[in-house]
Amino acid sequence: MTRKFFGTDGIRGLVGSPHMSADFVLRLGWAVGRVLAPQGGGTVLIGKDTRISGYMFESALEAGLSAAGVNVQLLGPMPTPAIAYLTHMAKAQAGIVISASHNTYQDNGIKFFSADGRKLPDDVESRIEEAVAKPFVTVDSRSLGSARRMTDAADRYIAFCQSTIGAGFKLDGLKVVLDCAHGATYRIAPAIFSALGAQVTSLGVRPNGLNINKDCGSTHPMSLQQKVVAMGAQLGIAFDGDGDRVMMVDHNGVLVDGDELLFIIAMARKSRHALHGPVVGTQMSNLGLEQAFGANGIEFRRAQVGDRNVLAMLEEFHGVLGGENSGHIICLDRTTTGDGIISALQVLEAMHTSGRDLADMRTGMHKFPQVLVNVKVREQVDLKTPEIVSAVQAVERRLNGRGRVLLRNSGTEPMVRVMVESEDADLTQQFAENIAEAVRTAASH
């Protein structure tokens, strides 16, 4: 069936819009309960990031699930991957995350994890959509679901993150700057890195419900880059609002993106014969990553954009490592989903083992200049309109096989994403702007 409100990563939108309102989320919670626990009983975990609308949607989901006869455990502000882990460990029917990830506070979203800590399959999401349209029927009072808080959720997740690295691994004396984006990692990340012995300076750890991702975190790393240099720190780590993405900064203040982090982790796995199957990137992965893997005898495959597509390809080809240049990295030999903290720990462990710093480890990959232009639109644009096709063909003729063009409608925001790669930075910018202008023209018709 055609999905009405599920996108590439759950449901996301402007707070107050038809599919991101309190009444809709109430019905959504009820529908989830009816689909995943049709006989009632069972438990669903609910976590959230720090945006102010999370309170409203947490209450709505709790009420809907209770009306369906399902018990609820409330986790409070927790990283998205923490909910995935805790759902599996608690043997719950599902986990729900209230978050719009890297978006600003005006948006929010609902993500789901199945009992095994993985994203819900498409067919289950379709069944939930069907259930939302059915009459809302509350179970008998004696069968209503109860709700309680999981008071040790943070301690459980911290212990799990620490278990993903060697028992003797320490960061003693390492000066690290963390940027938690005023989001879900604001307490947990500093605790983990401090416990490992690092000298931690924290940015973005004062959420007020409105400042999540605002000029900070993995989408806005400029302040982190400046702070690392000013403090003479060895590196910086930036998370996004819900903690499933990570970017890093070397001691020179240079940003190390998801492609480079994926390369570092893959090379470390290869060196100890622990890299199984292909490494999976996406259509947005830099051409330099593909070439670097080829030069080192590592198989590389591209999935469609979106972590669930990366995960599906990893499972199909029995791989353990994949990710996106946005910093969403999946280490299936450590956990079930993208996890910013665990990915950062894998990079730090690779540095520790090799004795090399972050700036040196990134030199094995030469990135092609890549420009991404986000074109805001009112609704999805037909990317096969004549003016867009003509603009793309003109750029591809100029590239003559020495670069790439990729256009796609965003699955999470009203935008068309225009990506161009080539050997010349100035031309890359020009080519991207030419295509973006054609998209704006087509969208205005």
Q: Give the pLDDT confidence of 179-212 residue by residue, as tens digits.
A: 999 999 999 999 999 999 999 999 999 999 999 9
pLDDT band at 39 (very low <50, low <70, confident <90, very high): confident
CA-angle at 88, arms to 96 and 125, nearest 5°: 45
Residue 303 has pLDDT above 90, yes or no: yes
- CATH 3.30.310.50 domain extents, the chain: 370-444
- Catalytic annotation on 99? no
Residue 7 per-residue DSSP state: B
List the structure tokens of 145: 């679901």
> CA 213, CA 69: separation in Å to the nearest integer?
36
Quote the pLDDT of residue 212: 98
> CA 351, CA 354: separation in Å to the nearest integer?
5
Helical packing angle, 80-89 and 340-354, nearest 10°: 100
Helix (H, G, I), strand (E, B) or coil at 316: helix
> CA 77, CA 46: separation in Å to the nearest integer?
9
Quote the pLDDT of residue 343: 98
Could you tell me which residues are beta bridge partners of residue 44? Answer: 72, 94
Q: State the DSSP H helix or E strand holding residue 165, giving kind and residue range, or none if neither.
A: none
Q: What does the mean pLDDT of the chain come to?
A: 95
Kindly report, residue by residue over 59-68, the tens digit of the pLDDT.
999 999 999 9
pTM of the entire predicted model: 0.91
Nearest to 114 by CA among 390, 336, 277: 336
Does the domain made of 157-364 have the CATH classification 3.40.50.1110? no
Beta strand segments in 19-106, E: 43-48, 71-77, 94-98
Nearest to 381 by CA among 352, 347, 408: 408
Whether the Cβ atoms of residue 302 and residue 281 lie closer than 8 Å to each other:
yes
Could you tell me which residues are beta bridge partners of residue 238? Answer: 179, 247
What is the total residue count of the chain? 445
Which one from 101, 202, 326, 343 is the annotated catalytic residue?
A: 101
Fold of 370-444: TATA-Binding Protein (3.30.310)
pLDDT band at 411 (very low <50, low <70, confident <90, very high): confident
pLDDT band at 2 (very low <50, low <70, confident <90, very high): low
> CA 254, CA 235: separation in Å to the nearest integer?
9
Kindly report, residue by residue over 373-398, the tens digit of the pLDDT.
999 998 888 899 999 999 999 999 99
CA-angle at 80, arms to 75 and 83, nearest 5°: 45
Residue 1 has pLDDT above 80, yes or no: no
What CATH class is the domain 11-151?
A: alpha beta
Question: What would the mean pLDDT of 351-356 be, rounded to a whole number?
Answer: 95
Kindly report, residue by residue over 253-301, the tens digit of the pLDDT.
999 999 999 999 999 999 999 999 999 999 999 999 999 999 999 999 9
Quote the pLDDT of residue 305: 87
- CATH 3.40.120.10 domain extents, the chain: 11-151, 157-364
Kindly report, residue by residue over 139-180, the tens digit of the pLDDT.
999 999 999 999 999 999 999 999 999 988 999 999 999 999
